[in-house]
Amino acid sequence: MKILVCISHVPDTTSKINFVNNDTEFDTNGVQYVINPNDEFGLTRAIVLKEQTGAQVTVVNVGGTDAEATLRKALAIGADEAIRINANPTDGLFVAKQLANVVKEGGYDLIIAGTESIDYNGGMVPGMLAGLLGYNFVNACIGLEVSGNEATTIREIDGGKETATASLPLIVAGKKGLVEEKDLRIPNMRGIMTARTKALNLVEPTGDANATSSVKFEKPAAKSAVKLVNADNLDELISLLHNEAKVI
């Protein structure tokens, strides 16, 4: 079985976010990047399947040279090889088309992506990828087992969970639950050293144009100052909640 894990190169959640050029571009200065958390759950699940079935695991990213450090980390975690599609991932459909070409050429049986990345939160690439390829697709997946040519999945639905089976090839949009947070793999020294010798292949993008573009970014409004009320002054607290906060 050949597994492809889509990896997004995203700002660490602790990074301070700013924008430049009249709020039209993200300011990358001083920002640390990590594997997108949803993708990391998918990668760990792929490594577990590799250990169970002997599958080959490839990771792929659409991005610039700065994303190679993230791909190397994925290799250190246990992926066998990496592919970097040399393009700026600014549009969901464009990214999906680039990934579709890699899937077609690689003949992958199982493609695992995160439900969404934590930078743009588009949540569109896995579904678009399935549509372009005509593959079975499971969204919001929190459980995945593979036996032969069939996968059993568990996905979140409103008010509960749904268990379904699907034949390979299959695209899964995964999230926390594919593995527990405590089971995420941390690269050890051997993995880091081995990652240096694993293949990181560069693929040039196709000529597809972006279907959309970002016009402007805007930060959430700043939080208002906190008012402290003496614990003995219940009347003032009720007045503030009623007249200012208007929650009662």
Question: Mind listing the pLDDT tens digit for each residue in 56-105?
Answer: 999 999 999 999 999 999 999 999 999 999 999 989 999 999 999 999 99
Cis peptide before 220 (omega within 30 of 0): no
The Cα–Cα gap between 179 and 43 comes to 10
For tokens 């597994």, name the residue. Answer: 3
Please give the pLDDT value at position 248. Answer: 85
Given this model, what pLDDT does residue 64 score? 96
Calculate the alpha carbon distances from 244 to 3, 229, 232 in Å: 55, 14, 19
Tell me, what's the pLDDT at 205?
95
What was the pLDDT predicted at 155? 95
* Sequence ranges of the domains in the chain: 2-220
- Beta-carbon contacts of 65 under 8 Å, excluding residues fewer than 6 positions away, are 84
Parts of the chain with a pLDDT under 50: none
- Specify the fold of 2-220: Rossmann fold (3.40.50)
Work out the number of other CB atoms within 10 angstroms of the CB of residue 157. Answer: 9
- Residues with Cβ within 8 Å of 246's Cβ and at least 6 positions away in sequence, in order, are none
pLDDT of residue 120: 86
| The pLDDT of residue 203 | 96
Evaluate whether 11 touches 30 at the Cβ level (below 8 Å).
no
Q: What is the pLDDT of residue 61?
A: 98
Contact between residue 129 and residue 105 where contact means Cβ atoms under 8 Å apart: no
pLDDT value for 69: 96
Amino acid identity of residue 36, one-letter, is N
